[in-house]
Amino acid sequence: MALIDMLFGGKKKTASVAKERLQIILAHERSDRTTSKPDFLNDLQKDLVQVISKYIQIHPNDIKVNLDRQDNLEVLEVKIEMPESELRAKPGGQ
C-alpha cells in the first residue's frame, strides 16, 4: 500500500519518539452536478474532533487542520499530536 508511506509526512517509523499521533484525511470528490452545494468538511471537522475526544484526550493546541482544494476535490487533513504525558485512554470510551 503506497498510501501508507505518505502518512505523517512519510516519517512513520518514529518508535523512539514518545508521541502518539493521529492523522485524519477526509477527501470529498463532488460530481459536477453538486459543485454549487456548500461543502460540509469544515463542519464535519468539528464533529470529528468531538467524536475522537470520546476515545483519547485531545487538547485544542494539539490539533492542526489543513484544507486543500483542487478542482472538484476537497481534502481536509487533521493532525493530532499528543505529548506522552497526555497518553491516557479515556475510561468512558468504547
| Distance, CA of 17 to CA of 10 (rounded, Å) | 15
The yes or no reply on residue 18 touching a second copy (CB under 8 A) is yes
- Picking from 5, 54, 48, the residue whose alpha carbon sits closest to that of residue 24 is 48
Please say which residue, 28 or 64, places its beta carbon nearer to a second copy: 28
From residue 30 to residue 49, the character string flagging contacts with a second copy as x (rule: CB under 8 A) and all else as - is xxxxx--x--x--xx--xx-
Residues 6+ apart with CB under 8 A from 29: 72, 73, 74
Site for a second copy (CB under 8 A): which residue of 25, 58, 65, 67?
25
Query: Measured between alpha carbons, how far is 24 from 61 in angstroms, rounded to an integer?
Result: 16
> In angstroms, rounded to a whole number, what is the distance separating the alpha carbons of residues 16 and 22?
17
- In the complex with a second copy, the residue whose CB is nearer, 31 or 61, is 31
What residues line the site for a second copy (CB under 8 A)?
1-4, 6-8, 12-15, 17-34, 37, 40, 43-44, 47-48, 51-52, 54-56, 68, 70-73, 75, 77, 84, 87, 89, 93-94
